[in-house]
Amino acid sequence: MPWIAFVTLNSRQEAALQAHAEDFIAVHKGDVMKALKEMIVLNGHLQERLEALSAPRRASR
């Protein structure tokens, strides 16, 4: 089951996040919707990897 975490950023972290967001949008030639869709897909892949890492390991025979 997915979980949601709320994070509070200080002004330096917020500025860094803003800069990365602007760079990510620039990679997508200014298309904010395309960048958002790509970010959603990337987050989905990362979530799957995190879940796989936290799953109990099965004993191999």
Q: Are 9 and 19 in contact (CB under 8 A)?
A: no
Q: How large is the angle between the packed helices 11-27 and 32-54, nearest 10 degrees? A: 110
Confidence category of residue 57, pLDDT binned at 50, 70, 90:
confident
Predicted TM-score of the model (pTM):
0.64
**Longest Cα pair distance anywhere in the chain, in angstroms?**
52
Q: What is the pLDDT of residues 2-33, one digit of tens each?
A: 667 788 999 999 999 999 999 999 999 999 99
Q: How many CB atoms are located within 10 Å of the residue 18 CB?
A: 11
Tokens at 24, concatenated: 């990510």
